[in-house]
């Protein structure tokens, strides 16, 4: 199936690892030009090289803290300077912070919203004008299941992700007439660097625990009907589909990538 991504240009935040890297790899395989953005230059450069080797595609690494002043303008300028246009943005940056409400500090609220909400808002605001110039575009916000069905001790992440889901719906109404389509992928359990770090901490006390057993335990603990944790590539391919010409009638939707775990459709 031709995804219609040849020559399109995408910015992916949190692009050096996990879901972001997988989405960049998937889009590059389809002929898209990709800017991957993350804070750690060494990890970012390695990811870019791996994607280039696997796809022979055009990948530009941009080491940047997206919460800093002017970051959105820098990302868009990088796309224009390298490729002359911008078609797709994937707001993927952010890790999970989950605590009981009374343990969430003011600084926790502020940093979580700055990374997951305000940085994404600024990038969307900066990108929309460029998408209009090329006749449309795709905005894909990566959120999570907690944004739809918050659980206990799930804040501030469940609240910031709920904001991302609401922004997706509202913005889709504003931009549909201009062929700028806005969707969100609500992530469940997906293998990631964050989980790898938790595993590394566990094996200091449990040296016989294998990574496969760790992930199996996670899936069982979250009651995932499919019975396993998703591979990053499974998320990356869904994101690529939503960015593609094949998804031209999809906007304002939330896709649960969760192995059936969510309590809502």
Percent of the chain with pLDDT over 70: 100
Question: ω into residue 156 within 30 of 0, thus cis?
Answer: yes
194 band by pLDDT with thresholds 50, 70 and 90: confident
Per-residue pLDDT, 29: 97
- The structure tokens listed for 213 are 């057993």
79-117 pLDDT, tens per residue? 999 999 999 999 999 988 999 999 999 999 999 999 999
Distance separating alpha carbons of residues 105 and 28, to the nearest angstrom: 40
Q: What interhelical angle do 232-243 and 18-29 show, nearest 10?
A: 50
Please provide the distance, in angstroms rounded to a whole number, between the alpha carbons at the two ends of the chain.
Answer: 27
Distance separating alpha carbons of residues 183 and 151, to the nearest angstrom: 23
| Residue 93 and residue 122 in contact, taking contact as beta carbons nearer than 8 Å | no
pLDDT for residue 1 is more than 90: no
pLDDT for residue 31 is more than 90: yes
Distance separating alpha carbons of residues 85 and 37, to the nearest angstrom: 17
28 band by pLDDT with thresholds 50, 70 and 90: very high
229 band by pLDDT with thresholds 50, 70 and 90: very high
| Residue 2 and residue 240 in contact, taking contact as beta carbons nearer than 8 Å | no
Region 184-189: mean pLDDT is 97
DSSP H or E run through 6: none
Per-residue pLDDT, 117: 98
Q: 33-38 and 88-91: which strand pairing?
A: unpaired
| Residue 19 and residue 142 in contact, taking contact as beta carbons nearer than 8 Å | yes
pTM for the model stands at: 0.96
**Sequence ranges of the domains in the chain:** 9-189+231-257, 191-229
CA angle 260–264–265, rounded 5-degree value: 75
Q: Has domain 9-189+231-257 been given CATH number 3.40.50.300?
A: no
pLDDT for residue 137 is more than 90: yes
249 band by pLDDT with thresholds 50, 70 and 90: very high
155 band by pLDDT with thresholds 50, 70 and 90: very high
């Amino acid at each position: 199936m031709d995804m219609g991504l040849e020559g399109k240009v995408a910015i992916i935040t949190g692009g050096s690892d996990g879901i972001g890297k997988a989405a960049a790899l998937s889009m590059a395989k389809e002929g898209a030009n990709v800017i991957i953005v993350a804070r750690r230059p060494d990890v970012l450069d390695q990811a870019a090289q791996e994607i280039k080797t696997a796809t022979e595609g055009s990948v530009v690494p941009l080491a940047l803290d997206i919460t800093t002043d002017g970051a959105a303008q820098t990302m868009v300028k990088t796309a224009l300077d390298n490729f002359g246009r911008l078609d797709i943005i994937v707001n993927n940056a952010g890790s999970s912070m989950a605590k009981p409400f009374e343990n969430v500090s003011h600084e926790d609220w502020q940093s979580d919203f700055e990374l997951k909400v305000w940085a994404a808002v600024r990038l969307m605001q900066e990108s929309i004008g460029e998408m209009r110039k090329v006749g449309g575009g795709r905005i894909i916000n990566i959120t999570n299941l907690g944004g739809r069905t918050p659980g206990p001790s799930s804040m501030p992440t469940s609240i910031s992700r709920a904001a991302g889901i609401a922004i997706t719906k509202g913005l889709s109404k504003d931009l549909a007439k201009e062929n700028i389509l806005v969707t969100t992928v609500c992530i469940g359990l997906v293998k990631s660097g964050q989980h790898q770090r938790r595993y590394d901490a566990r094996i200091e006390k449990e040296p016989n625990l294998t990574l496969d057993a760790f992930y199996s335990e996670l899936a069982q603990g979250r009651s995932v009907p499919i019975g396993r944790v998703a591979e990053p590539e499974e998320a990356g391919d869904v994101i690529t589909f939503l960015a593609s010409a094949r998804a031209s009638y999809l906007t304002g939707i939330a896709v649960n990538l969760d192995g059936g775990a969510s309590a809502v459709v």
